[in-house]
Structure 1
Amino acid sequence: MNFVASQFPAWVLWSANGLSVLLLLFAASRVAWRQLDGQAANAWLGACVVLLGFWLGRAGLEPGLSFHLLGGTVFTLLMGPALALLALAAVLLGLAAGGQLEWLALGLNFLLSLLPPVLLTSLLLRLAQRRFAANVFVYVFVNAFLCGAASLLLAAACGLTALVLAGAYPLEHVLENALPYYFLLAWSEAFTSGLVLAILVVYRPHWVATFDDARYLDKQ
């Protein structure tokens, strides 16, 4: 999404900005900064640059309705949820600094487009670890591929619901002219997430914070 500030009441925008700041401060407090792996951190910074490029190449039909890969699942699996939220927020700030997003709508974009994928990915990762065997295929297919698609659809549902409730677009309009595109984009998100994680767990598993060699490889 690329929400436009004029589509929402001022109190909604400022409340979203305040809540986003609080969430980011909490996320920063949860990161073990001194224990971060230097090589992994450099790779994560590179991931931010790549994602920024993906978002710059987004397509949009109407104000507030844009289509691009989110990267929320990849970032969460790579960095863990706390650091993923900070990294995704940094990408949003980069877009705003470049004039691609409205500063006043940053909090709303963060809460509705980025927070849901991170939360869903974290939840499904924990469920998979409890319910399924420790298997690389489960990690890549369930936690990366399927979760990538589900996370994008969840973010789309949150964003479209917000636009409808704010009166920016009627329900029939978003169901007919926007939602079908998100279903198509979800498969691109799934494929990209699954491919990236499959490559990394094979060649650079130490870059993936949520991948444990002892858990997934020693039992193969």
Structure 2
Amino acid sequence: MNLPDGLLAGAWTTAAWLLFIPLFLRVVWRSPWRRLADPSRLNAWLGTIVVLVLLWSLNAGIKPGLSLHLIGAAVLALAFGPGLAFIGLCAALLGVTLNGDAGWASFAANALLMGGVSVGVSRGVLRFSERFLPRQLFVYLFANGFFGAALSILAVGIAASGLLVAAGVYSIDYVRSEYLPYVGLLAFSEAWLSGMVITLFVVYRPQWVATFEDSRYLLGK
């Protein structure tokens, strides 16, 4: 998380940019921008990005590249869909990078880790719950808002650790003993914060939650 410049070799940085640029362009092209035509939804999306910039700036670091902070990807993915969530996370990363808490050359790697991995996992949990779990409000909130958020940040921590180990920056024994246990603890905070925010959205502003449908989770229950 928040990889600084110079930590990864040039080949890894180049590969990250080659993956990120076409992915970002594809997401921008296919995202449902009409969803933000409603001023209240647009304000919610922009406001969430600003909050994430603040959250990402409050991080604890063990060593360069091994930092810990909340991500909030599950909230964006559930509220606005995976496309707008990924773009929003990239915008939050832009703010953090401008603030000097991440490297410009490493922007693509950071975006793929904190945006791509986290949104992908959140989307996967949502699709799994829609297909295999009962269609109930509690199931939606717990499986996606709580469990999905925890799983997404765990996936980011594991992916970042794997990248740093593969690049020869740290040994697998070091990240396994000195970093990953703290990512597991952080997952509880991510789960509670994201779960509470999504619960408040569903209760008071359900029109902001694109993945929530009254007909699916409330009617007839």
Instruction: Report TM bin, short chain.
Output: over 0.9
- Secondary structure, aligned partner of 1:199: helix
2:96 is matched with which residue? 95
Is residue 2:147 matched to residue 1:146? yes
2:193 is matched with which residue? 192
* Alpha-carbon separation, structure 1, partners of 2:54 and 2:213: 29
* Alpha-carbon separation, structure 2, partners of 1:63 and 1:136: 41
Deviates most, 86-95 or 24-33: 24-33
Change (3 A) 1:35 1:151: closer
Shift of 1:130: 1.3
**Unmatched 5+ stretches in structure 2:** none
1:26-105 equivalences under 5 Å are 26-36=26-36, 37-105=38-106
For residues 47-95 of structure 1, the C-alpha deviation after alignment (integer angstroms, 9 at most, x for no partner) is 0011111111111111111000011111100110000010000111111
Is residue 2:115 matched to residue 1:114? yes
Query: How many residues are aligned here?
Result: 220
* Alpha-carbon separation, structure 2, partners of 1:19 and 1:191: 32
Q: What RMSD in Å do the two structures reach over aligned CA positions?
A: 1.2
1:12 is matched with which residue? 12
1:173-184 equivalences under 5 Å are 173-184=174-185
* Alpha-carbon separation, structure 2, partners of 1:218 and 1:17: 46
* TM-score where L is the length of structure 2: 0.96
**Unmatched 5+ stretches in structure 1:** none
Could you list the structure 1 runs, at least 4 aligned residues long, displaced by more than 6 angstroms after superposition.
Answer: none
Deviates most, 203-212 or 8-17: 8-17
* Alpha-carbon separation, structure 1, partners of 2:148 and 2:30: 23
Is the contact made by 1:67 and 1:185 (CA closer than 8 Å) also made in structure 2? yes
Counterpart of 1:170 in structure 2: which amino acid? S
1:21 is matched with which residue? 21
* Alpha-carbon separation, structure 2, partners of 1:127 and 1:171: 31
* TM-score where L is the length of structure 1: 0.96
2:3 is matched with which residue? 3
* Alpha-carbon separation, structure 2, partners of 1:34 and 1:143: 24
* Alpha-carbon separation, structure 2, partners of 1:81 and 1:7: 29
Is the contact made by 1:79 and 1:210 (CA closer than 8 Å) also made in structure 2? yes
- Secondary structure, aligned partner of 1:103: coil
Shift of 1:7: 2.1
* Alpha-carbon separation, structure 2, partners of 1:4 and 1:168: 12
Shift of 1:5: 2.8
Is the contact made by 1:160 and 1:174 (CA closer than 8 Å) also made in structure 2? yes
Identical residues among aligned pairs (%): 41
